[in-house]
């Protein structure tokens, strides 16, 4: 019987595999935008420069107390990059909720590790469940017809995960 800690650890590992790279990508892209914004305002970028987007201040580094870092509105030439980055962040947040719901449904059906392998579609199994060759499938508790039905009903979610895995490979490369 899988205990809560195992399921929680599995969920944490899966979410890290799927979405762990995004925060670094987001901060790197935001830093590039901040530097380009400062340059477009014809100044030398400083690590504490602040960019205002719709009344919210963005900066990569915290300014020392008592300092007065430069503050810049978003330059029109990079406004589209800012919108694209923030849209991507919102889409990722929405996608995470959807994927987490699917993975929770999968884990809720599992009583043993072998169940996870049988319930997960082939297009994501190898990335989320390494070393499955060591499993003993005679221990599985989920019936074959239930596995097929679960995979069929949740194809859109496994496809979403497969797309995220591919996107992560492209971002890393």
pLDDT over 70 for what percent of the chain? 97
> Residue 62: is its pLDDT beyond 70?
yes
Q: What is the pLDDT of residues 72-127, one digit of tens each?
A: 899 999 999 999 999 999 999 999 999 999 999 999 999 988 899 899 998 998 88
Q: What pLDDT is stored for residue 103 in this prediction?
A: 97
pLDDT value for 121 = 93
- Helical (H) or strand (E) element with 51: strand 50-53
For residues 44 and 74, is the Cβ–Cβ distance under 8 A? Answer: no
* pLDDT exceeds cutoff 80 at 146: yes
Of the pLDDT bands very low, low, confident and very high (cuts 50, 70, 90), residue 44 is confident
DSSP run (H or E) holding 158: helix 155-172
pLDDT of res. 140: 85
Q: For residue 9, what pLDDT is reported?
A: 93
């Amino acid at each position: 019987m899988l205990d809560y800690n195992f399921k929680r650890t599995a969920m944490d590992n899966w979410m890290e595999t799927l979405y762990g790279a995004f925060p670094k990508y987001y901060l790197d892209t935001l830093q590039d935008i901040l530097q380009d914004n400062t340059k477009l305002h014809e100044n030398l970028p400083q690590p504490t420069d602040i960019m205002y987007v719709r009344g919210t201040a963005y900066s990569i580094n915290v300014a020392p107390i008592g300092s007065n870092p430069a503050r810049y509105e978003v330059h029109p030439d990079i406004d589209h990059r800012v919108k694209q980055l923030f849209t991507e962040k919102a889409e990722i947040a929405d996608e995470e909720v959807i994927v987490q719901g699917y993975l929770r449904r999968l884990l809720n059906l599992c009583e043993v590790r072998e169940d996870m392998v049988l319930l997960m579609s082939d297009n994501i199994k190898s990335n989320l469940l390494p070393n499955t060759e060591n499993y003993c499938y005679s221990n599985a508790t989920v019936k074959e017809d239930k596995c097929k039905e679960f995979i069929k009903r949740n194809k859109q979610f496994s496809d979403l995960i497969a797309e995220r895995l591919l996107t992560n490979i492209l971002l890393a490369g």
